[in-house]
Structure 1
Protein backbone atom coordinates (compact mmCIF):
# COMPACT_ATOMS: atom_id res chain seq x y z
CA UNK A 1 0.00 0.00 0.00
CA UNK A 2 1.31 3.46 -0.93
CA UNK A 3 2.27 5.79 1.87
CA UNK A 4 -0.08 8.79 2.14
CA UNK A 5 1.20 12.07 0.79
CA UNK A 6 1.49 14.83 3.37
CA UNK A 7 1.56 18.45 2.22
CA UNK A 8 2.83 21.39 4.27
CA UNK A 9 1.30 24.78 3.48
CA UNK A 10 3.22 27.88 4.52
CA UNK A 11 3.63 31.56 3.93
CA UNK A 12 7.16 32.17 2.68
CA UNK A 13 8.89 35.53 2.27
CA UNK A 14 10.16 34.40 -1.12
CA UNK A 15 11.10 31.28 -3.03
CA UNK A 16 13.95 30.52 -5.41
CA UNK A 17 13.39 31.51 -9.04
CA UNK A 18 14.33 27.97 -10.15
CA UNK A 19 11.63 26.46 -7.90
CA UNK A 20 9.04 28.96 -9.13
CA UNK A 21 9.94 28.27 -12.78
CA UNK A 22 9.77 24.53 -12.22
CA UNK A 23 6.27 24.64 -10.69
CA UNK A 24 5.05 26.98 -13.44
CA UNK A 25 6.41 24.61 -16.09
CA UNK A 26 5.11 21.47 -14.40
CA UNK A 27 1.67 23.00 -13.83
CA UNK A 28 1.18 24.02 -17.44
CA UNK A 29 1.32 27.75 -16.68
CA UNK A 30 4.83 27.87 -18.12
CA UNK A 31 3.30 28.28 -21.57
CA UNK A 32 1.75 31.62 -20.57
CA UNK A 33 4.33 32.94 -18.10
CA UNK A 34 7.80 34.37 -18.87
CA UNK A 35 9.69 31.28 -17.66
CA UNK A 36 12.70 31.98 -19.91
CA UNK A 37 13.12 35.49 -18.44
CA UNK A 38 14.81 34.94 -15.06
CA UNK A 39 15.06 38.66 -14.15
CA UNK A 40 11.31 39.06 -14.79
CA UNK A 41 10.48 35.97 -12.70
CA UNK A 42 12.67 37.38 -9.91
CA UNK A 43 10.88 40.72 -10.16
CA UNK A 44 7.52 38.93 -9.96
CA UNK A 45 8.61 37.15 -6.78
CA UNK A 46 10.19 40.25 -5.26
CA UNK A 47 7.06 42.35 -5.79
CA UNK A 48 4.70 39.75 -4.32
CA UNK A 49 3.84 40.42 -0.71
CA UNK A 50 2.11 37.12 -0.10
CA UNK A 51 3.57 33.82 -1.30
CA UNK A 52 1.91 30.66 -0.08
CA UNK A 53 3.58 27.36 -0.85
CA UNK A 54 2.68 23.69 -0.80
CA UNK A 55 5.63 21.40 -0.17
CA UNK A 56 5.92 17.66 0.23
CA UNK A 57 6.48 16.82 3.89
CA UNK A 58 9.81 15.10 3.46
CA UNK A 59 13.50 15.90 3.81
CA UNK A 60 13.87 17.73 0.47
CA UNK A 61 10.59 19.69 0.94
CA UNK A 62 9.87 19.63 -2.79
CA UNK A 63 7.72 22.57 -3.91
CA UNK A 64 4.59 21.20 -5.60
CA UNK A 65 2.36 24.28 -5.48
CA UNK A 66 2.52 28.04 -5.16
CA UNK A 67 0.07 30.92 -4.82
CA UNK A 68 1.70 34.30 -5.60
CA UNK A 69 -0.30 37.33 -4.50
CA UNK A 70 -0.26 41.10 -4.23
CA UNK A 71 -2.43 42.39 -1.40
CA UNK A 72 -3.03 45.32 0.93
CA UNK A 73 -4.17 42.89 3.67
CA UNK A 74 -7.15 45.17 4.21
CA UNK A 75 -9.47 45.18 1.20
CA UNK A 76 -8.22 43.08 -1.70
CA UNK A 77 -5.78 40.36 -2.68
CA UNK A 78 -4.92 39.67 -6.30
CA UNK A 79 -3.87 36.04 -6.73
CA UNK A 80 -1.65 36.21 -9.79
CA UNK A 81 -0.50 32.58 -9.93
CA UNK A 82 -2.03 29.45 -8.51
CA UNK A 83 0.17 26.68 -9.84
CA UNK A 84 0.28 23.02 -8.87
CA UNK A 85 2.68 20.54 -10.47
CA UNK A 86 0.81 18.13 -12.72
CA UNK A 87 2.10 15.15 -10.70
CA UNK A 88 0.38 16.59 -7.60
CA UNK A 89 -2.87 17.73 -9.21
CA UNK A 90 -6.02 16.04 -7.96
CA UNK A 91 -4.72 15.84 -4.38
CA UNK A 92 -6.55 18.94 -3.15
CA UNK A 93 -3.44 21.12 -3.20
CA UNK A 94 -5.00 23.92 -5.26
CA UNK A 95 -7.91 24.15 -2.82
CA UNK A 96 -5.45 23.96 0.08
CA UNK A 97 -3.49 26.90 -1.35
CA UNK A 98 -6.69 28.91 -1.80
CA UNK A 99 -7.74 28.14 1.77
CA UNK A 100 -4.34 29.20 3.11
CA UNK A 101 -4.37 32.45 1.11
CA UNK A 102 -7.81 33.23 2.57
CA UNK A 103 -6.58 32.38 6.07
CA UNK A 104 -3.54 34.64 5.63
CA UNK A 105 -5.52 37.68 4.42
CA UNK A 106 -8.53 37.21 6.68
CA UNK A 107 -12.29 37.37 6.09
CA UNK A 108 -12.44 41.11 5.36
CA UNK A 109 -10.26 40.80 2.23
CA UNK A 110 -11.59 39.80 -1.20
CA UNK A 111 -9.44 37.35 -3.18
CA UNK A 112 -9.49 38.13 -6.90
CA UNK A 113 -7.96 36.24 -9.82
CA UNK A 114 -8.11 35.83 -13.57
CA UNK A 115 -8.51 32.18 -14.53
CA UNK A 116 -7.18 30.38 -17.55
CA UNK A 117 -10.13 28.81 -19.40
CA UNK A 118 -9.20 25.24 -18.42
CA UNK A 119 -9.32 26.09 -14.68
CA UNK A 120 -12.70 27.86 -14.53
CA UNK A 121 -14.49 24.75 -13.27
CA UNK A 122 -11.92 24.29 -10.49
CA UNK A 123 -12.51 27.81 -9.16
CA UNK A 124 -16.28 27.39 -9.34
CA UNK A 125 -16.05 24.09 -7.42
CA UNK A 126 -13.82 25.84 -4.87
CA UNK A 127 -16.68 28.27 -4.20
CA UNK A 128 -15.44 31.33 -6.06
CA UNK A 129 -18.03 33.45 -7.87
CA UNK A 130 -17.60 34.60 -11.47
CA UNK A 131 -17.51 38.35 -11.88
CA UNK A 132 -18.94 39.41 -15.24
CA UNK A 133 -17.96 43.10 -15.08
CA UNK A 134 -14.20 42.93 -14.95
CA UNK A 135 -11.84 44.90 -17.15
CA UNK A 136 -8.14 44.99 -17.88
CA UNK A 137 -5.46 46.48 -20.07
CA UNK A 138 -3.71 43.43 -21.46
CA UNK A 139 0.10 43.45 -21.20
CA UNK A 140 1.89 43.91 -24.49
CA UNK A 141 4.59 41.31 -23.78
Structure 2
Protein backbone atom coordinates (compact mmCIF):
# COMPACT_ATOMS: atom_id res chain seq x y z
CA UNK A 1 0.00 0.00 0.00
CA UNK A 2 1.09 3.61 -0.39
CA UNK A 3 4.15 4.61 1.61
CA UNK A 4 5.35 7.82 -0.05
CA UNK A 5 3.50 11.05 -0.79
CA UNK A 6 3.39 10.45 -4.59
CA UNK A 7 2.06 6.94 -3.95
CA UNK A 8 -0.62 8.28 -1.59
CA UNK A 9 -1.66 10.90 -4.14
CA UNK A 10 -1.83 8.33 -6.95
CA UNK A 11 -3.79 5.84 -4.85
CA UNK A 12 -6.24 8.50 -3.65
CA UNK A 13 -6.93 9.69 -7.19
CA UNK A 14 -7.42 6.15 -8.54
CA UNK A 15 -9.63 5.09 -5.62
CA UNK A 16 -11.71 8.29 -5.73
CA UNK A 17 -12.20 8.14 -9.50
CA UNK A 18 -13.35 4.51 -9.46
CA UNK A 19 -15.53 4.95 -6.39
CA UNK A 20 -17.12 8.20 -7.53
CA UNK A 21 -17.82 6.92 -11.05
CA UNK A 22 -19.52 3.80 -9.73
CA UNK A 23 -21.65 5.80 -7.31
CA UNK A 24 -22.60 8.35 -9.95
CA UNK A 25 -23.65 5.56 -12.32
CA UNK A 26 -25.77 4.11 -9.52
CA UNK A 27 -27.42 7.46 -8.76
CA UNK A 28 -28.04 8.25 -12.43
CA UNK A 29 -29.66 4.83 -12.79
CA UNK A 30 -31.87 5.53 -9.77
CA UNK A 31 -32.85 8.92 -11.16
CA UNK A 32 -33.58 7.66 -14.69
CA UNK A 33 -35.32 4.44 -13.71
CA UNK A 34 -32.68 1.97 -14.88
CA UNK A 35 -29.34 1.33 -16.49
CA UNK A 36 -28.83 1.92 -20.20
CA UNK A 37 -25.73 2.59 -22.26
CA UNK A 38 -26.46 6.30 -21.85
CA UNK A 39 -26.25 5.94 -18.05
CA UNK A 40 -22.50 5.39 -18.24
CA UNK A 41 -22.02 8.47 -20.42
CA UNK A 42 -24.31 10.67 -18.31
CA UNK A 43 -22.31 9.72 -15.22
CA UNK A 44 -19.17 11.22 -16.77
CA UNK A 45 -20.67 14.73 -16.56
CA UNK A 46 -20.44 14.85 -12.75
CA UNK A 47 -16.93 13.37 -12.58
CA UNK A 48 -15.03 16.69 -12.96
CA UNK A 49 -16.94 18.05 -9.98
CA UNK A 50 -17.15 15.08 -7.64
CA UNK A 51 -13.71 13.44 -8.08
CA UNK A 52 -11.70 16.48 -6.93
CA UNK A 53 -14.06 16.93 -3.96
CA UNK A 54 -13.64 13.26 -3.00
CA UNK A 55 -9.84 13.44 -3.42
CA UNK A 56 -9.49 16.51 -1.22
CA UNK A 57 -11.80 15.11 1.48
CA UNK A 58 -10.10 11.71 1.47
CA UNK A 59 -6.54 13.00 1.40
CA UNK A 60 -6.82 15.78 3.97
CA UNK A 61 -9.58 14.67 6.35
CA UNK A 62 -11.03 11.20 6.00
CA UNK A 63 -7.92 9.01 5.69
CA UNK A 64 -6.54 9.91 9.13
CA UNK A 65 -9.95 9.88 10.78
CA UNK A 66 -10.88 6.51 9.27
CA UNK A 67 -7.54 4.99 10.24
CA UNK A 68 -8.00 6.19 13.82
CA UNK A 69 -11.50 4.76 13.95
CA UNK A 70 -10.36 1.44 12.49
CA UNK A 71 -7.66 1.09 15.13
CA UNK A 72 -10.27 1.50 17.84
CA UNK A 73 -11.24 -2.11 17.12
CA UNK A 74 -8.18 -3.40 15.23
CA UNK A 75 -4.66 -3.98 16.53
CA UNK A 76 -1.43 -3.32 14.62
CA UNK A 77 -0.67 -7.04 15.00
CA UNK A 78 -3.86 -8.07 13.16
CA UNK A 79 -3.59 -9.42 9.62
CA UNK A 80 -2.79 -6.54 7.24
CA UNK A 81 -5.66 -7.39 4.90
CA UNK A 82 -8.15 -7.13 7.78
CA UNK A 83 -6.69 -3.78 8.77
CA UNK A 84 -7.14 -2.66 5.15
CA UNK A 85 -10.76 -3.85 5.19
CA UNK A 86 -11.43 -2.07 8.48
CA UNK A 87 -9.99 1.21 7.19
CA UNK A 88 -11.99 0.86 3.95
CA UNK A 89 -15.16 0.27 5.95
CA UNK A 90 -14.53 3.37 8.06
CA UNK A 91 -13.80 5.44 4.95
CA UNK A 92 -17.17 4.47 3.48
CA UNK A 93 -18.90 5.24 6.79
CA UNK A 94 -17.46 8.77 6.69
CA UNK A 95 -17.42 9.52 2.96
CA UNK A 96 -20.90 8.25 2.09
CA UNK A 97 -22.89 10.72 4.21
CA UNK A 98 -20.55 13.59 3.32
CA UNK A 99 -20.56 12.92 -0.44
CA UNK A 100 -24.33 12.32 -0.33
CA UNK A 101 -24.72 15.73 1.30
CA UNK A 102 -22.54 17.39 -1.33
CA UNK A 103 -24.43 15.65 -4.16
CA UNK A 104 -27.75 16.64 -2.60
CA UNK A 105 -26.72 20.30 -2.41
CA UNK A 106 -25.23 20.36 -5.92
CA UNK A 107 -27.60 18.17 -7.93
CA UNK A 108 -30.90 17.78 -6.05
CA UNK A 109 -33.50 19.77 -4.19
CA UNK A 110 -31.50 20.52 -1.03
CA UNK A 111 -33.12 19.51 2.23
CA UNK A 112 -32.54 17.31 5.23
CA UNK A 113 -35.00 14.66 4.04
CA UNK A 114 -33.47 14.57 0.56
CA UNK A 115 -30.00 14.13 2.06
CA UNK A 116 -31.12 11.32 4.40
CA UNK A 117 -32.90 9.61 1.50
CA UNK A 118 -29.83 9.93 -0.74
CA UNK A 119 -27.53 8.69 2.01
CA UNK A 120 -29.85 5.76 2.75
CA UNK A 121 -29.87 4.66 -0.87
CA UNK A 122 -26.13 5.18 -1.30
CA UNK A 123 -24.80 3.49 1.84
CA UNK A 124 -25.49 -0.17 0.94
CA UNK A 125 -24.21 0.34 -2.60
CA UNK A 126 -21.13 2.25 -1.40
CA UNK A 127 -20.23 -0.56 1.02
CA UNK A 128 -20.63 -3.28 -1.60
CA UNK A 129 -18.93 -1.28 -4.36
CA UNK A 130 -15.96 -0.41 -2.12
CA UNK A 131 -15.41 -3.76 -0.45
CA UNK A 132 -16.09 -6.07 -3.41
CA UNK A 133 -14.99 -4.16 -6.52
CA UNK A 134 -13.56 -0.67 -6.18
CA UNK A 135 -11.10 -1.36 -3.35
CA UNK A 136 -9.64 -4.55 -4.84
CA UNK A 137 -9.40 -2.93 -8.30
CA UNK A 138 -7.70 0.21 -6.99
CA UNK A 139 -5.22 -1.87 -4.97
CA UNK A 140 -4.49 -4.06 -8.02
CA UNK A 141 -3.84 -0.97 -10.14
CA UNK A 142 -1.59 0.41 -7.42
CA UNK A 143 0.40 -2.84 -7.21
CA UNK A 144 0.73 -2.90 -11.00
CA UNK A 145 2.08 0.66 -11.14
CA UNK A 146 4.22 0.54 -7.99
CA UNK A 147 5.74 -2.91 -8.16
CA UNK A 148 7.65 -3.74 -5.03
CA UNK A 149 9.73 -6.83 -4.70
CA UNK A 150 12.99 -8.32 -3.57
CA UNK A 151 14.95 -6.49 -6.26
CA UNK A 152 13.71 -3.09 -5.11
CA UNK A 153 14.67 -3.83 -1.50
CA UNK A 154 18.36 -4.04 -2.48
TM-score tier (shorter):
under 0.3
Structure showing greater radius of gyration is: 2
Give the TM-score normalised by the residue count of structure 1. 0.26
Give the TM-score normalised by the residue count of structure 2. 0.24
